[in-house]
Amino acid sequence: MPGAVGANLVLDHSQIQILSAFSRSHTLALFRPSDAAHDATLEDNVTTPHSSSQRALIEYVFLSQMGESESEYERVRKVLLLARILNCPKPKEFRVLRCVGFCAPKSQGHDNEYGFVYVFPSSCNSDSPPIPLRHFFAGAKRQLIPTLEGKFHIAKALSSSIFELHCYGWLHRNISSENVIFFVHADGKQAKTATTIAPTAADMEDPYIIGFHHSRPDGNVYCSDIRSAEDVSPDAIFYQHPDYGDNSTLRFEKRHDYYALGMVLLEIAFWRSCDNMWQEDRKRTPNSVIDRRAFKNKLVSRFVPRLAAVMGTAYMEAVQSCFSAQPFPSADNDSTVGGSGNAFSEDQDSQFFRNVVQKLDVCFVG
């Protein structure tokens, strides 16, 4: 383990009790602080939660995703850097869950992954699992459509979150409506049914971003991971910038995060998934191959212009900026994490703040 500073972020597997699957790369669990974990090990086959246990979401990074050129030291260092970023106190604008640490792989065979452990917000109802934004676009939850003001609130929160993350020198690399989640607040106002607790409009205005298992520092000395079969979502292609998705040698850049954010902003505006927008073309069959560039061109020509009437001109211009962001040159020797070693990157952050964050900030319901 590089350095003793991050030792307290390395958790023992005995501190985690898996409850159920949440997504391809996430599980719901109970997290026991170290003292509680010690008590739990005194009993065999613990089946009841410890009094100090906290509901948690575990996010997995499979070793098969790691770049072949990375040494074990570099791999663990990158994991530790991410854990530190997600663990340190952050402004609410970050919109990420508190990461209490990670569990290292148990072996080189089974359980071959790192598990980042995020505890639920203290204000949420821990009996109700989080709900991905994407799940509101179909099925029974399709009826839970936020107000225009609520949509603005979600969009502002997400754009500010990506801005803050990039200012820290990190790339998300996995932005999608599946990785935006909401919690039911523990205020006793939710409508209970036989199987779940229904979220309210207020819950839907308080998003959190997950999916950091592909994240890395923004610098030329860091390797991108390899999308593994374990966690690749069939819908991920819709959020991939055509330049990046069609070019295996191109490094991931901030503009590729902007593109994915623009896709989510488009989904929020029309309250439908991007693949649903793609299927609106009657010529496409369910099993046809998706052309990323054709998909982008269709959105830009057919759906983005409609935003002015639905969400206002400022919102439309913010989405246009996400889709049209140009590549920025970077210094070959730049390896700054959370610093200002790259002047071009600083300019890119400023442009994103002006063209997206501030554009969305002026969106309001009078």
pLDDT band of residue 5 (cuts 50, 70, 90) is very low
Amino acid type, 226: I
Who has greater pLDDT, 260 or 238?
Answer: 260
CB within 8 Å of 134: residues ≥ 6 apart: 176, 177, 178, 180, 235, 267, 273
pLDDT digits (tens, 9 = 90+) for 270-326: 999 988 888 775 455 555 567 788 888 888 889 999 999 999 999 999 999 999 887
Beta strands 197-198 and 191-192: pairing type? antiparallel
What value does the mean pLDDT take over residues 125-135? 89
pLDDT tens digits along 68-116: 566 777 777 878 888 888 898 888 889 999 999 999 887 554 456 889 9
Residue 297: CB atoms within 10 A of its CB come to 12
Strands 197-198 and 113-119: unpaired
Task: Tell me what the mean pLDDT of segment 43-61 comes to.
Answer: 68
Supply the pLDDT for residue 122: 86
Instruction: Give, as one character, the DSSP assignment of residue 72.
Output: H
Helix (H, G, I), strand (E, B) or coil at 32: coil
* Alpha-carbon distances of 336 from 53, 215, 257, 258, rounded to whole Å: 37, 15, 19, 20
pTM of the model: 0.83
Q: Quick one: average pLDDT of 134-140?
A: 84
Q: Which amino acid is located at 212 in the chain? A: F
Q: Judge whether residue 49 has pLDDT over 60.
A: no
- According to DSSP, residue 231 is labeled T
Q: What is the CATH number of domain 7-361?
A: 1.10.510.10
- Quickly tell me which residue has 């269709």 as its tokens: 298
For residues 186 and 125, the answer to whether their CB atoms sit within 8 Å is yes
**CA distances for 200 relative to 156, 188, 197, angstroms:** 19, 11, 9
Q: Is the pLDDT at 46 greater than 50, yes or no?
A: no
The proportion of the chain whose per-residue pLDDT surpasses 90, expressed as a percent, equals: 39
Digit-coded pLDDT (tens) for 6-35 = 558 889 999 999 999 999 889 999 999 986
The arithmetic mean of pLDDT across residues 159-181, rounded, is: 93
With 0-12 CB in 10 A as exposed, 13-18 as middle and 19+ as buried, what is 96? Answer: middle
Cα distances (Å, whole numbers) of residue 46 to 35, 50, 104, 282, 311: 15, 9, 22, 54, 51
Q: Is 80 exposed, middle or buried (0-12, 13-18, 19+ CB in 10 A)?
A: buried
Q: Is 217 helix (H, G, I), strand (E, B) or coil?
A: strand
Q: Is residue 106 helix, strand or coil?
A: coil
